[in-house]
Amino acid sequence: MFSLSLFIRSGTNQDLVISYFLYLILGIVALWVARKDILAPTGVFVLVAFSGFGLNIPLIATGHVPFIRIDDNTLTKVMIIVLFAHIGFMCGSLLPNTYFNPIRKIVGTRKSTRGTSFVAFFALLFLEIVAGIVRMKLHLGEAGIQPTIPYAGIFQFFLYHGVLMLCVWYLVQGLTQKRSHAILGLVLLVGMAVTQALLGWRGGILYILIIAVVSFWYQFKLHDKQKHYSMAWLIILLFLSFSLIQLGNTTRTERLGGESAYAKSNEEFVMNILTRSQGTTRLAEVVNHFGPLSFTNNYLIEKLLTKGLTTTVYIDREVYGVKETQSHSVGTSGPGGPYTALGISGVLVSYFLIGMLYRLSYFAITNYKATGTNVF
């Protein structure tokens, strides 16, 4: 209703209003279906997509987001692409549960849940500190700086995602044991967030917070006969997130130059989060580059495969002028990648596959008692 009032007062293009409210209706229906388990794939997708597109499109269209000017025709094309991404994902996520789930076959294990210990905590803490020092010394995953060694991506994967997975493993096991282990698991995640901040990243801190939320949520799904730890413990991470994002922004500013967007008042910080519109603005650049909406985008995927380019690299070079030697990327936004490759049909197919993957993965985790596996 708030969006509708904004659209009416500003005289927004009718096509944009219609496509936006078709998107809202689809989202409301999906959330109603997922109301008993809001972190099921359907619920998560709707909420994430809304934070990236649905929340800011009415604000941009009506001139309420400072420094962002996108015309109604472009926003209408953006909204239509996002709507098709929703349709594709919902179709993929509606696949029926099956015991012959291929994801379960791949990641399933019949090993029992292992307990953790204080020794494991100190070992992981030591590993986390060493991995962080190595990443900073070699500039692995550091904002705006090229790594100094070959195969940097492989080392970065193990020293960041690998260590993060072990820390989450500790938290998940800790949630089935004593309260002290659950708290220590959160301490490990705080350590990972600090490392990301020292490397100049901000979004990675929210990424780690989301991982913690999911871990706490799944204990309710998987351990219904045990004492649950309240999600209020996540206030520890939430309380620290603002300071860590400030640290990450300060580090980034010192290395890359420019004014710190977060080193202002708390009110401006909150507004920056609410109006952060990178998904919409980047998708708008993609649709403007290709002109009218296309169902296949002239099968550009064939040309990209021939030249060995990803859609992200293509848009970086063609739209933003990023040179091959630059350690920098702007990207296409989520649905912008498949749209670049194969138009609206690419968006439908890719998001159908993503929805199917999430649906099968979710079933493999939550139905472990019936299937005899312990994927989580």
Directed axis angle between helix 336-366 and helix 311-318, to 10°?
150
Q: How far apart are CA 203 and CA 201, in angstroms?
A: 6
Q: How far apart are CA 261 and CA 294, in angstroms?
A: 37
**The pLDDT of residue 344:** 96
Collapsed DSSP state (helix, strand, coil) of residue 334: coil
Cα torsion through 83, 88, 90, 95, rounded to 10? 170
**The pLDDT of residue 154:** 92
In angstroms, how far is the first alpha carbon of the chain from the final one? 40
Instruction: Please give the average pLDDT of every successive group of 10 residues along the chain, which has 376 residues.
Output: 85 88 92 85 89 87 83 92 94 74 63 76 95 91 81 92 92 81 87 86 75 77 59 69 69 61 52 68 93 93 93 92 80 92 96 89 70 58
Alpha helices by DSSP H, the chain: 2-10, 14-33, 41-49, 57-61, 72-93, 102-107, 118-138, 152-156, 163-174, 179-198, 203-222, 235-256, 266-274, 278-290, 300-307, 311-318, 336-366, 368-371
DSSP symbols for 241-266:
HHHHHHHHHHHHHHHH-S--SSSS-H
**The pLDDT of residue 182:** 82
**The pLDDT of residue 134:** 94
**The pLDDT of residue 270:** 57
**The pLDDT of residue 262:** 45
CA-nearest of 179, 233, 237 to 205 is 237
Phi, psi angles (nearest 5°) of residue 108: -65, 145
Alpha helices by DSSP H, 115-234: 118-138, 152-156, 163-174, 179-198, 203-222
Residues 6+ apart with CB under 8 A from 223: 175, 176
Locus of tokens 């109603």: 32
CA-nearest of 351, 285, 281 to 315 is 285
**The pLDDT of residue 108:** 59
